[in-house]
Amino acid sequence: MFFPAYNDAPSLPGLIDKTFAVLAEHVDDYEVIVVNDGSYDNTGEVLAALRQKHGPRLRVITHEANRGYGGALRTGFSSATKEYVFYTDGDGQYDVGEIPALLALMEPGVGLVNGYKLQRNDPWHRIWIGAVYNRFARFLFRIRLRDVDCDFRLIRRQLLEEIHLTSTSGTICVELVRKLELSPYRTVEVGVHHYPRLHGRSQFFRVRSLLKTLYQLIRLYVRVVLLHRWRG
């Protein structure tokens, strides 16, 4: 399991403590990784204290400078060593207590178990923008998954070793899902709960970030879809 974290100091203690409790009950062999993506709050100090508490099973990887959401995920994927890789965000909007529901669906032949939000608990403008982005990305990339931006995923690590991810922003979720759906393995979905953000604010739902994401989404389409067709 790993968590990308950017200025998530207030939410990390409860999140990490609950993660270890859930894993200890349901999994024999596990590791927990937090990728501190250039946080400028006291995330580093919080993680140092959690490392003291939980020992070597908690690994902390620190980016000295912020590499973006995609950069944090790529570090987490490349650092994971177990057969299956689960990740969700470090802001605590998803409940790690629902991980067993994903584990139950990871069967032979399944490559990705993806959550979908039963109800999005965000301000109305984020819900609206998220819905538009989700529909646009699914249409553009012909993605079958119903909720592209639900970052509550369990993935077979073998597939992560076979695909090459290049995105550095939130568009990595589209790239990841598109490439996993093209694999021989099946994708299954399960509904999960989504909770209000209690600390900080999202970096995604800002005009500059949205314009940058749209630009990167188009570039990703050219690289992943159009060039793939041309080469094929």
Cα–Cα dist 105/190, whole Å: 9
pLDDT of 209 over the 90 cut: no
Cα-Cα-Cα-Cα dihedral sign, residues 159, 23, 62, 147: positive
In this predicted model, which residue has the larger pLDDT, 228 or 43? 43
Cα-Cα-Cα-Cα dihedral sign, residues 202, 203, 208, 214: negative
Question: Which percentage of the chain shows pLDDT scores above 90?
Answer: 75
pTM for the model:
0.90
Contact 62, 36 (CB under 8 A): yes
pLDDT tens-digit profile of 99-153? Answer: 999 999 999 999 999 999 999 988 888 888 889 889 999 999 999 999 999 999 9
- Nearest to residue 122, comparing CAs of 90, 87, 154, 150? 150
Domain ranges of the chain: 2-231
Cα–Cα–Cα angle for 163, 107, 19, nearest 5°?
80
On average, the pLDDT of the chain sits at 91
Predicted confidence band at 26 (pLDDT cuts at 50, 70, 90)? very high
- Nearest to residue 64, comparing CAs of 85, 79, 43? 43
Cα of 50 vs its chain's centroid, Å: 21
Write out the CATH class of domain 2-231: alpha beta
